Amino acid sequence: MKIALPNAGPSARPRAGAILDPAELFPFAASETWLEIGFGAGDHLAWQAAGNPAVRFLGCEPFVEGVASLLARVARDGLRNIRILDDDARLLLDCLAPASLDRVFILFPDPWPKTRHHKRRIVTTETLDRLARAMRPGAELRLATDHADYAAWMLAHATDHPGFAWTARAAADWRTRPADWPETRYEAKAARQGRKSYYFRFLRRAREGDG
């Protein structure tokens, strides 16, 4: 169930130049590979995996409670198409084969609301650079938050990045959760507390040099 990164010793950091092909992690052929960064309790990831059995799912979550919750769901529902990294997602992104991801989810990450903590946010230019390398042209990036300042931050960073194009054509496109995007317990809690959620969808642009 767990992803073993190609590394040179006890350190979790992948070996320089090491490449991990997601297909090598699964004993069956799959149509696509999707990644969720920070899956929390695993509600969304398990829902997607159950509804898309022909897709490989990679999930990254550093907190043991979330990993344990997802593992229990995997065992209960007999999900065979999930592999987990219980560490920083950037370690995985640094060694994934180029253009190996077809969809990426970053849903309701920690907003780190204090200005001095903004450098800890997962949605940064550096992370988007990693994602652009690992995602194939036309792959979809989904972002969500219930924190207005972080929503503006996400939108500014993603629209400014040359590797991604925002798909929204009307306000409803980012104010309404898509039908194939289940409500998580965190999202439900935010709604009960009167916080609005923002849903952004981007496509990986084809750029010169893409294969």
Give me the active site residues, please: 110
Distance (Å) of CA 56 to CA 34, 41, 52, 179, 196 = 6, 19, 9, 21, 31
Question: 3-state DSSP call for residue 33?
Answer: strand
Q: Token digits for 119?
A: 């450098």
- Position 184, amino acid: T
Q: Are 82 and 61 in contact (CB under 8 A)?
A: no
Give the residue among 30, 44, 26 at the shortest CA–CA distance from 142. Answer: 44
Q: Token digits for 15?
A: 């070996």
- The secondary structure of residue 31, as a DSSP letter, is S
